[in-house]
């Protein structure tokens, strides 16, 4: 199923023995476009502290009542490494985090996750073992805030088509699949459309611009986006056909 980032950041995280706090942000790697961590405000019981929660610990599927259940105790979360949300997450901090929960480093192996295409069914800390610091961390990968993407300008091959309004991810793999683009600047009624991640040509992070391999006319022929729950296979088939792009399921 698909979930939007805007839905996820309105959710609360619940441990096996009590509430952790609300989701503030999602961190994804800009190499594979996979969400690696939830940033959760645990300040109501951890003295103004943010904590990281990995999809490895999240029970599948996500609940639709704005609650995310995790297979962790509050004590384990309380003793996790401190997080300075104002600073980029370093490789050393990630290693400390993975060792604390005895999780495999997601960058090990050839899949989206170390254990395969999804972080499931690893919903509890792995047996206590010395897993070391993991394999080589991709040098060209950075963790980005999902909130950082809001308002990024989206540029088609011929002209501007709008701004990023949301991100859509697969809640099994946690891979981001679509950008939600607001076209209000040129399309009467301010419609929103989906742009697939494979159609992104390049991103200028400094200029906050995303260049895609579509024309404005292709975007105009796309189905109007309503919400993540409305994205089903028939909708995707029409979207990919109008944009003349193969489906990821093919």
Instruction: For residue range 208-232, list pLDDT tens digits in order.
Output: 999 999 999 888 888 889 999 889 8
Of the listed ranges 4-13, 26-35, 233-242, the least confidently predicted one is 233-242
Q: 250 pLDDT band (50/70/90 cuts)?
A: low
pLDDT reported for residue 205: 94
pLDDT reported for residue 178: 95
> ∠ CA 88-93-95 to the nearest 5 degrees?
135
- How many angstroms separate the most distant Cα atoms in the chain? 58
Q: Are 54 and 119 in contact (CB under 8 A)?
A: yes
- The dihedral built from the CA positions of residue 221, 241, 35 and 171, taken in this order, carries a sign that is positive
- Report the distance separating Cα 29 and Cα 84, nearest Å: 18
The yes-or-no verdict on residue 131 having pLDDT over 50 is no
The yes-or-no verdict on residue 180 having pLDDT over 80 is yes
Helix (H, G, I), strand (E, B) or coil at 33: coil
| pTM, 2 dp | 0.90
β-pairing, 153-155 vs 209-212, is parallel
- Report the distance separating Cα 12 and Cα 67, nearest Å: 5
Distant-in-sequence, close-in-space partners of 56: CB < 8 Å, separation ≥ 6: 101, 103, 113, 119, 122, 123
What integer is the mean pLDDT of 119-142?
Answer: 61
Average of per-residue pLDDT values in the chain:
87
- Report the distance separating Cα 52 and Cα 83, nearest Å: 8
- Report the distance separating Cα 81 and Cα 93, nearest Å: 8
Q: Could you tell me the domains of the chain?
A: 2-144 (2.30.30.240), 150-242 (2.30.30.240)
Among 151, 181, 165, 147, which Cα is nearest to 39's?
147
- Would you give the DSSP letter of residue 122? -
């Amino acid at each position: 199923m698909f979930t939007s980032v805007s839905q996820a950041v309105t959710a609360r995280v619940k441990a096996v023995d009590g509430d952790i706090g609300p989701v503030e942000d999602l961190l994804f790697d800009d190499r594979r476009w996979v969400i690696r961590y939830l940033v959760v405000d645990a300040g109501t019981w951890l003295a103004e502290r943010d904590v990281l929660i990995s999809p490895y610990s999240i029970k599948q599927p996500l609940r639709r009542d704005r609650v995310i259940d995790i297979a962790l105790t509050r004590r384990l979360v309380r003793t996790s490494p401190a997080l300075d949300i104002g600073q980029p997450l370093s490789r050393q901090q990630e290693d400390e985090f993975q060792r604390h929960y005895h999780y495999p480093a997601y960058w090990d192996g050839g899949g989206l996750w170390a254990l395969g295409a999804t972080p499931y069914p690893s919903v509890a800390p792995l047996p206590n073992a010395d897993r070391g610091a993991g394999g080589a961390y991709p040098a060209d990968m950075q963790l980005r805030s999902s909130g950082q993407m809001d308002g990024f300008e989206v540029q088609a091959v011929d002209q501007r088509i709008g701004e990023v309004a949301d991100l859509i991810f697969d809640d099994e793999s946690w891979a981001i699949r679509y950008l939600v683009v607001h076209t209000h600047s040129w399309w009467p009624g301010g419609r929103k459309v989906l742009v697939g991640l494979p159609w992104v040509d390049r991103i200028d992070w400094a200029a906050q611009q995303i260049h895609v391999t579509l024309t404005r006319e292709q975007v105009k022929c796309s189905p109007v986006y309503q919400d993540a729950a409305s994205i089903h296979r028939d909708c995707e088939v029409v979207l990919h056909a109008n944009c003349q792009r193969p489906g990821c399921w093919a």
